[in-house]
Amino acid sequence: MTDAAPTAPQTPAERYAVFRERRALAAVQPQGPLALVNTQWVGEEQTIWGVPGTWAPAPSGTSGLLVTATAAEGIRVDGDLVDGTVLVRGKDDPEPSTIVFDEHTTGFVIAGEDGLYALRVWDSQSEGIQNFGGIDAFDYNPDWVITGTFREIEGGSVVGFEHLKDDGKTRGEVVPGEIRFTHDGVEYDIAAFKSGRALQLVFADATNGDDTYSVGRFLFIAPNPDGSITLDFNNAVLPPCAFSYAFNCPLPPKQNRFPFRIEAGEKNVLAADGALLH
């Protein structure tokens, strides 16, 4: 006799509970948000905090960074021990490189909008992971499942989004359509940009800095075939910068700053003693 297969969650509240468990598990993965300990941009030959080797920009037109190290330093790029100078391909390359520094420290290279590249360093034994207590969240609330409308804009439009560490400069993000919804009789026209196959809504509300993370939150959504779009704010998540200061997150544009409280979704990252992790 075999054990019965586990029953899949059926109700929205049950699915929400599973979502919460998966979010907490993802946070502590070896390259999860709590593991990121450094993001360092490389504009000239330099060392990088926390890892061995000397790092420098790659030749113009080449993706990634150059790392120079001896075999004794133990850096492996794409599985091979570095002994000399090696190209570390960036995430914008079809075949990005992997980097292993030791049994718990890894890395990869990301591209910036200004042509520079940065090394991201991940530590599966980071202080954040060791001190992690959980992700505080509101209870499931069906009142915050809102149906709006989506109208595609041919070719999309570009909206400037500020980022936390960019000193007020904006980055243009493609917004593929108009999203509108009504709350308490007021219509809101919001901007969500492309994020893979989904749309990413970066929003703020009256809970920020009180019950929820001060910078804002994210919600990933997709249009329905009938032209509607479902905004389930129970699935609102904290941005990566709530887990690690080494991230640079987009900030909510003006039209996504709501004057009302959205008491749904994630609140804050907590330490093991229940205090805020950051």
The domains of the chain are located at 33-123, 134-271
Write down the pLDDT at residue 89: 98
Q: Distances from the Cα of 265 to the Cαs of 20, 136, 243, 262, in angstroms?
A: 9, 9, 16, 8
> What average pLDDT does this structure show over 61-86?
98
Write down the pLDDT at residue 5: 59
Q: Are 105 and 245 in contact (CB under 8 A)?
A: no
Distance CA(175)–CA(42), nearest Å, equals: 30
Write down the pLDDT at residue 119: 98
CA 77 to chain centre: 24
Distance CA(255)–CA(275), nearest Å, equals: 32
Task: Evaluate if residue 19 carries a pLDDT over 60.
Answer: yes
Q: Are 100 and 120 in contact (CB under 8 A)?
A: no
Write down the pLDDT at residue 43: 96
Instruction: Compute how many other C-beta atoms are within 10 angstroms of the C-beta atom of residue 217.
Output: 25
Task: Evaluate if residue 64 carries a pLDDT over 90.
Answer: yes
Radius of gyration of the chain measured on its C-alpha atoms: 21
Task: Evaluate if residue 205 carries a pLDDT over 90.
Answer: yes
> Rounded mean pLDDT of the chain?
95
Question: What percentage of the chain carries pLDDT values higher than 90?
Answer: 87
This prediction has a pTM of 0.92
- Residue 224: closest CA among 150, 172, 170: 150
Q: Where are the beta strands (DSSP E) in 70-204?
A: 76-77, 80-81, 84-88, 99-102, 105-111, 117-123, 132-137, 145-162, 170-183, 186-190, 192-195, 198-203
Instruction: Compute how many other C-beta atoms are within 10 angstroms of the C-beta atom of residue 219.
Output: 23
Distance CA(244)–CA(36), nearest Å, equals: 6
